[in-house]
Amino acid sequence: MSDHSSPRALIVLLTTASAVVALFGLREVASIAGPVLLALVLVIAVSPVRGWLAGRGSPTWVQVAVPFLVVVLVLLGMVAVLTVSVIQLASILPTYATQFQDLLAEAQLFAVSHGISNEQLNKAVQSYDPGRVLGIVQTLLTSLLGVLSSLFLMVVLLLAMSLDAPVTAKLLAAGRDHKPALVTALTTFAGRTRRYLVVSTVFGLICSALDVCVLALLGVPLPLLWGVLALITTYIPNIGFVLGLLPPALLALLDGGSRQMILVIVAYSVINVVFQSFILPKYLGDAVGLSTTMTLLSLIVWTFVLGPLGALLAIPLSLLTRALLIDSDPSARWAAALISGGSTSPPPPDPSGTASTR
């Protein structure tokens, strides 16, 4: 009998092409897809609250309203802090124009003393305009307005998804007998996502509080803003710590010189190493289920597709992709071992106790 199966190379090429088309298509509608996916992740994050209320016989409207209000209040609080802080940043940045120009001159002298000065460096220093700092501030404010407009769309989506959450849970429970692999994969995705968000948030809050205390003791301006930034960058794998460190370190350099900048870098590094390298992995365990290489690739791909929001959602979106394409297909176990670094053990139990619904 002749073998009519498609060549493996053709299957790989078609799969790759389909993935590229899907990602570029998603990138074209990133302004819509981003808030939708963020709303989905947030609804999953607060689903244990709904499960707790349902277990105590609360009315359906209470099961919908309470988780929704929890998310909205957290988002509004964070946006309020960022708005006030960015306005304060806009008012103090122009006052550092002279210090910044002095730093450029020192850097030029350093380059000249080491024989690496060139004509382009001289032109760059001479053409520096302190007024450009105001342009950076205006860009920050414009970006903030864009976030606020997206926030309205996300709140509407959150409300819609919160209303559908009880029905979705019942549908998943009813479909377990018909599509057990798919339902199990989605349940595992929800449990892993919740554990990742809860653990990351708890340790992110601790690290952020310590960062704020350190910055306040060192006299770095706007410590609360940099603390919120450190919390947000907690959800960005691999490079989040660096992104959260750079702005306060640069501001410390302008405000107090190189000594203050070094102290900020050392303090941030100590806090990050202790929590991110020693404590966090112990509590997070295998909840993520992605190897270090896959985590970095996820960050690159989702940032390319969805922009900064993709960097924040890189882990949850990769877990969702794994659930839909790999975990739901028993024949794809080899791929699960590949992307998880060889570990295919089940995720740790969901602390909410609602990871599975039957």
Distance (Å, rounded) from C-alpha 295 to C-alpha 60?
Answer: 38
Asked if 26 and 305 count as a contact pair (C-beta separation under 8 A), the reply is yes
| Helix 240-256 × helix 223-233 angle, to 10° | 160
pLDDT-based confidence at 214, cuts 50/70/90? Answer: very high
Return d(Cα 97, Cα 225) in angstroms, integer: 20
pLDDT at 121 over 60: no
Mean pLDDT of 28-53: 86
Q: Indicate whether this model's pTM tops 0.85.
A: no
The answer to whether 244 and 278 have CB atoms below 8 angstroms apart is: no
Mean pLDDT for the stretch of residues 88-98: 74
Judge contact between 52 and 76, C-beta under 8 A: no
Share of the chain above pLDDT 90, in %: 5
pLDDT tens column, 134-186: 455 455 555 555 555 667 777 888 888 888 877 777 777 777 777 888 888 88
- Asked if residue 237 lies in contact with residue 296, where contact means CB atoms within 8 angstroms, the answer is yes
As a whole number of angstroms, the distance between CA 155 and CA 75 comes to 9
Mean pLDDT of the chain: 77
In the block, tokens 């092409």 appear at 17
At 350 the pLDDT is 47
Q: How far, CA to CA in Å, does 318 sit from each of 44, 113, 257, 326?
A: 15, 49, 41, 11
The SS3 of residue 328 is coil
The C-alpha atoms of residue 258 and residue 252 are separated, in whole angstroms, by 8
Give Cα separations from 339 to 212, 239, 333 (angstroms). Answer: 36, 20, 10
